[in-house]
Structure 1
Amino acid sequence: MKDEGQTPIHDQYKVSWGDNDPANPNNFAPIYKVWITSQMAMLAFVGSFGASVISPAEAVLATEFNISREVTVLLLSLFVLGYAFGPMVWGPFGEVYGRKLSMLPAVFVLGLFSIGTATSKSAAAIFVTRFFGGFFASAPISNVSAAIGDFYGPKERGVPMALMAACVVGGPCLAPVVGAAIVVNPHMGWRWTEYIQGIITFFVTAVTAVCLPETYHPVLLKRKAQQLRQETGNSQYWHPHESEKINPRNVLTKYISRPLRMLFTEPIVTCIALYASYVYGLLFFQMESFPFVFYQERGYSLVISTLPFLGLLVGVLCALTINFANQTFYAKAVAKNRGCAVPEARLPPMLIGGIFFSAGMFWFGWTAAPRYSWVLPTVAAGFIGAGFNITFQQCLNFLVDTYGPFAASAMAGNTFLRSLLACGLPMAARPLFTKLGVGLGSSLLGGLSCLALPVPLIFMKYGIKLRKMSKFAQVANE
């Protein structure tokens, strides 16, 4: 430990960003930032697409491996369970070694496990490879939102975050349509759902390995300190991140445990995670009703019965307009707060999202019967998708605004809880919809979703107080 006389000299050689430093990600050219965002969006899409691309093959797998339809739900549930445990590793890993190293190797391994699923000879092998596929697929999902905050300031972050959330949510909406087309193709079959996943994954990994730069500031400043020591021969240049290392003694106590510690000890992470998990679980539960409505009750073919998932996707994309519209309001709030982030200013769209989400569920349930046109439940699905994406994106924005360099761990805690809930609910969906029917079942879900409608108002009122109770949050004098 240095004495007080040495401290000024020591601090003088602490490496930081200079004015207009081109190596600072915040100073990247706008078009380059768009290119980086596009690459991260591809990584997030690959991770989310894999969750449900094999879902249309449930009936085929049940026959081929002599298992019940209830057991085939594990195809989705185990992948989502992997989402729960993966971020415990990838979030803290990214905060030590950088975004690129925490995502790209994991995504490459996702491709390997996708090929492993495609070549499996037993149901057990499929389930095991699906779980590990989800574990590695969670790396970009838990890191990209935090990474966006590396090169976009609070005022500009809303638009790229909205596009990122659309990729995360849109992947599971598009995947069943693609998967169904592959399953019914006589020249391909269910195994090609995973081969295609692997091919896309390897392609995206190759592109990002070449083109994606590191954006995490502490890692870049650590490299800058090392470069300055080498170029000048002056060993006094340093950066605090040089002491951050993962080893067998601290891997559990300090790093892997950080997302869980934040989940259980940070009031904001706990509250946002509970809210997001509740809504996320209801969405996954509702999506399990689609095969009942369009495949079983209406008797549509496998491919046609998955097309209403595109209604969800359209809703997800339409939600971007509401999130974009909030940018003007948010920019004013940031300017008023002297350029500092104002997480609570992200929340007003969540009120609209909650209403869309609940209304869509009621609408879907009440028009699910075959006597109604397929258009009605499909449009309702659009409202469900829009409502969820509005809510989901603002939750991500809130955590990134609040936790800055620790956002990946905050996201990991959030992802852990919501994935745990989402992995279990699909297994309960089939018995519920079989017993109550989609009409009553969806109405029940809609009623449950209404319980969450006041939550954004509570966050708006008490958000600052909760953030000031945090050890990790960045709180300006608001």
Structure 2
Amino acid sequence: MGSSVASNEIPALQKVFHVPNGSQTILPATMYLIGFVLGPLVFAPLSEQYGRRPVLVWTLCLYIIFTMACALAPNWAALLVFRVLSGIFASPPMSVTGGSIADVDEDKVARGRANVIWSTATLVGPLAGPVISGYTYQYSWTWGFWAAMMLSGICLVAVLLQPETLATKILRDRAAKLNKEKGSDRYIAPADQERLSLLVTLKITTTRPIHLMFTEMLVSLTCLYMAFVYSVFYMLLEIFPDIFEGIYGFTAGESGLAFVIMFAGSVVTVAVSLLYDRYAQGIVRKHPHKQAEYLRLPIACIGGPLFVVALLWLGWTSKPSIPWIVPLLSMVPYGVAYQMIFMAMINYISDAYGIFASSALAACAAARSVAGAVIPLAVDSMVDGLGIAWSCSLLAFISCGLSLVPFGFIIWGEKIRARSNFSKKLQETSHPELELTRSLSLV
């Protein structure tokens, strides 16, 4: 929610901070997403080394502090700095949560269902931002930030009640407790058998997402696909006012309700996913020793073409001669497609990279945050030059090409993994965190 909560407060921010029209108006969202680029690259691998819970607790506390700072910002520059810091400390759940789910659920079907709930939550947040700010901005531009801070306080209570899920951290804590009780140092956790220096550990863990992004084809292509789909969402934040306020005369609050329609589509996806899980569960039971990550991908194979259809529908029906309900309803298949793509690709990467799912997901989170921060800066020029219909068509054509990614993974995914040294060691080593840390230290 933090990324989009300022979307409808831009006119008020322009008035208060004397910001001219133009590309500066998208900077509150852009700066937040820049923080989303930086955060996962550091915090996700640190969570694999020092535990999920400490990372989530401390970063959420800092996020609350810097969100409050946004509401109290004395000028435009300070607001943008606080937005970057808010984004950095809001980013860990986007990658660490996937790792926690992989820690807890060894059963891939159960893990998939948990990821469905999580990926739905990651969609609800950005959708809720425009709805909330669409109504709160008329009272004060600060109310969107106060709302985000209060909701984060509720989340902090939930995180504090969450136990540690990382096996290596749990064993390390147990060993430390036993050593303290026995007054000895005889108990050593497996992850500590080859303990590296703090500097070397930080170097390895913080470069792992980048290593995966540029050396693992599965991660690279997933990053590319998810990054573009994610950036389209933030482009729609800029296009929607042109359509629903400019063409149909909606208020900012009413325009934000289009995102509620999008959420309705994502709910449909949850139901479809749960039904599909029954089929996947049957396959897994028949072939328990066979890698079945590819079973995640048919959902994305449906979502990709549907995403293209939704964009064409929106672009070519946004005309004064066509009732507003027609382009608005395009957000139902858009919500379905967005959720299908994210849900399938996140599940696939989580299954494929096991204990290092957080690092792989961090690479994806960083890539899509870069795209979400940079690509929407071109929206005004694109719409001015091409118009709404052809702008949406351009996005649809690019989406059509990228929709081939999950099909390619189904056909060649196992061959790609068979050639990957990282994947081989992950499958063959009893303690992959030790073996891969040892090998990455040589990179």
CA contact (8 A) 1:286 1:445 kept: no
Partners of 1:183 and 1:151 in 2: how far apart? Answer: 41
Change (3 A) 1:437 1:418: same
Task: Name which of 140, 161, 170 aligns with 2:124.
Answer: 170
CA distance in 1 between counterparts of 2:170 and 2:259 reads 41
2:16 maps to: 64
Q: TM-score, normalised by structure 2?
A: 0.91
Superposed counterparts of 1:205-220, under 5 Å: 205-209=156-160, 211-220=161-170
Question: What RMSD in Å do the two structures reach over aligned CA positions?
Answer: 1.9
More helix per residue: 2
Q: 1:375 to 1:468 in 2, by over 3 A?
A: same
1:52 pairs with 2:4: yes
Q: Which moved more, 1:335-344 or 1:444-453?
A: 335-344
Query: Are 2:147 and 1:196 equivalent residues in the alignment?
Result: yes
Q: Where do 1:328-367 residues align within 5 Å? A: 328-338=278-288, 342-367=292-317
C-alpha deviation, 1:294, in angstroms: 0.9
Counterpart selection for 1:136 from 73, 81, 89: 89
**Quick check: 2:222–2:405 contact (8 Å CA) kept in 1?**
no
Q: Which amino acid aligns with 2:145?
A: E
Q: Is the 8 A contact 1:82 1:138 kept in 2?
A: yes
Instruction: Give the 3-state SS of the residue equivalent to 2:321 in structure 1.
Output: coil
Report Cα offsets for 1:366-407 as digits up to 9, x if no partner.
111232222111210121111011010111111110111111
Please state whether the residue corresponding to 2:153 is helix, strand or coil. Answer: helix
**2:137 is aligned with 1:183:** yes
Contact in 2 for aligned 1:267/1:469 (Cα 8 Å): no
Is residue 2:79 matched to residue 1:126?
A: yes
CA shift for structure 1 position 340: 6.1
Partners of 1:102 and 1:150 in 2: how far apart?
A: 15
Instruction: Find the aligned partners of 1:149 and 1:181 in 2 and give their Cα distance.
Output: 38
Give yes or no for contact 2:221–2:405 (8 Å, CA) kept in 1: no
Q: Please state how far the C-alpha of 1:422 moved relative to its aligned partner.
A: 1.3
Superposition pairs of residues 304-315 of structure 1, within 5 angstroms: 304-315=254-265
Q: 1:372 is paired with a residue of what secondary structure?
A: coil
Whole-Å Cα distance in 2 between the matches of residues 245 and 259 of structure 1?
A: 21
Name the counterpart of 2:407: 457
Distance 1:155 1:340 in 2: 14
TM-score by length of 1: 0.85
Partner amino acid, structure 2, of 1:379: L
- How far off is 1:417 after superposition? 1.2
Residue number among 263, 271, 283 corresponding to 2:233 in the alignment:
283
Cα distance in 2 for partners of 1:197, 1:341 equals 41
Q: 1:155 to 1:363 in 2, by over 3 A?
A: same
Query: Following the alignment from structure 1 to structure 2, what is the Cα–Cα distance between the partners of residues 126 and 229?
Result: 48
Alpha-carbon offset, residue 303 of structure 1: 0.9
- What's the counterpart of residue 104 of structure 2? 151
- Greater shift in the superposed pair: 438-447 or 388-397: 438-447
On the 8 A contact 1:365/1:438 being kept in 2, the answer is yes
Within 5 Å, give how 1:379-394 maps onto structure 2: 379-394=329-344
2:440 aligns with none
Does the CA-based 8 Å contact 1:158-1:324 persist in structure 2? no
Q: How does 1:184-333 map to 2 (within 5 A)?
A: 184-185=138-139, 189-209=140-160, 211-231=161-181, 235-242=185-192, 249-250=199-200, 253-333=203-283
CA–CA distance in 2 between the matches of 1:246 and 1:300? 59
Instruction: Measure the CA separation in 1 of the matches of 2:238 and 2:272.
Output: 27
Match of 1:86 among 12, 18, 39: 39
What displacement does 1:329 show?
A: 2.6
How many angstroms does 1:243 deviate by? 5.4
Report the alpha carbon displacement of residue 99 of structure 1 after superposing the two structures with TM: 0.8
Distance 2:383 2:311 in 1: 14
| Matches for 1:28-39 after TM superposition, within 5 Å | none
- Is contact 2:5–2:132 with CA below 8 Å preserved after alignment? yes
Opposite residue 421 of structure 2, the aligned amino acid is K
Task: Tell me whether 172-181 or 234-243 shows the greater mean CA deviation.
Answer: 234-243
For 1:233-268, what per-residue CA distance to the aligned partner results, in whole angstroms no more than 9, with x for missing partners? Answer: 674432222358786622553121111011111222
| Aligned partner letter, 1:137 | A
Deviates more, 1:413-422 or 1:243-252: 243-252
Structure 1, unaligned stretches of length 5 or more? 1-48
Q: Cα–Cα, structure 1 residues 313 and 445, in superposed 2: closer, same or farther, change >3 Å?
A: same
- The Cα shift of 1:425 comes to 1.1
- Matched length: 424
Structure 2 distance, partners of 1:387, 1:468, is: 30
